[in-house]
Amino acid sequence: MRVLYHLPLSPFSRKVRLVLAEKRLPFELQLEKVWERRPEYLALNPANTVPTLIEENGLAIPDSGVICEYLEEAYPDAPSLLGATLAERVEVRRLLAWFDGKMAREVTSNLLGEKFMKRLMGRGNPDGALLRTGYAALREHMGTIGMLAEQRTWLAGATLSLADFAAAAHLSALDFASDVDWSVSPATRDWYARIKSRPSFRALLADRVPGVMPPAHYADLDF
C-alpha cells in the first residue's frame, strides 16, 4: 500500500491528501513527527519536511510540489489537476507558487508555525508581532482568493485545479486552529464551502489533533 508521511496541521500534507483522493489513489497515512529528526525519515527526505509519499514500488517522493507533479505524470488516466493548455498550466502553477510560497510564508508560518511548530521544535513561545503580521496577511490573502472566486468558476479558471486544493489546504489548517474570520470575504467563504463539500475533503474534516479543538463550524458543510 502507498504510504503518505504527514502531519495533520501541515497544509502541504493536506493538499496531497486531497489530490490523492481526487485521483482515487488509495494510501495509508503515517504520522511523522519531524521534530524528532528520525534517521530513517531523513534518509527518505533529507529536507525533513512533510509530506513524503512512498509508492508501492519503493520510490520515495518528498515535497508536496514534487509529489503533485509526479502524480500528474505517473497516473495520466486519473483526472488532471494541472489544466489542459499551456496557458492554463501556467496559471495553475503560478497560483500554486503564490499559495505555497507567498501565502505560506506570510500567513501560515506566522500563525500555525508560531502557535504549534515553534513549540514542538523546542524554539520557545509565539512571537506576538509575527502573529499580528500573519492575521493581517491572512485578511489580504482572503481578499485575493475572494476576487479570483468572483471572477472565475474555480481559482485558476473554468476547472478545478491544484490551485484550489493548495489554497483550501492552507485555509483548512488555519480554520482547524480557529484562525479564520470567514466574515472577511463572503466570496472566499462561498468558494470554500463548495470545495469543502467534495468527498475528497471528508478525511480532513474528521482529523483530530491532541490539544487542539477545532471550531464548531470546522466540519460543517453549510457553515
- The residue from 66, 120, 209, 213 that contacts its own copies (CB under 8 A) is 66
Q: In this complex, which beta carbon is closest to its own copies, that of residue 63 or of residue 179?
A: 63
Number of chain residues interacting with its own copies (CB under 8 A): 22
Q: Does residue 92 contact residue 163 with C-beta atoms inside 8 Å?
A: yes
* Residue of the chain from 16, 20, 61, 163 that contacts its own copies (CB under 8 A): 61
**Which grid coordinates are listed for 135?**
492575521
Nearest residue to 172 (alpha-carbon basis) of 129, 148, 203, 211 = 203
Binding its own copies (rule: CB under 8 A), the pick from 97, 187, 212, 219 is: 97
Q: Is 62 in the site for its own copies (CB under 8 A)?
A: yes
Site string for its own copies, 136-165 (x = CB under 8 A): ------------------------------
Q: Is 84 in the site for its own copies (CB under 8 A)?
A: no
User: CB-hemisphere CA count at 13 Å for 81?
Assistant: 28
Beta-carbon neighbour count of residue 127 at 10 Å?
14
CA distance 153 to 155: 7
Torsion, Cα 53 192 182 49, to 10 degrees, reads: 10
Which CB sits closer to its own copies, 18 or 103? Answer: 103
Q: How far is the CB of 92 from its own copies (least distance, A)?
A: 9
| Residue in 33, 25, 41, 27 with CA at minimum distance from that of residue 8 | 33
Residues that bind its own copies (CB under 8 A): 46-47, 59, 61-63, 65-66, 69-70, 73-74, 86-87, 89-90, 93-94, 97-98, 101-102
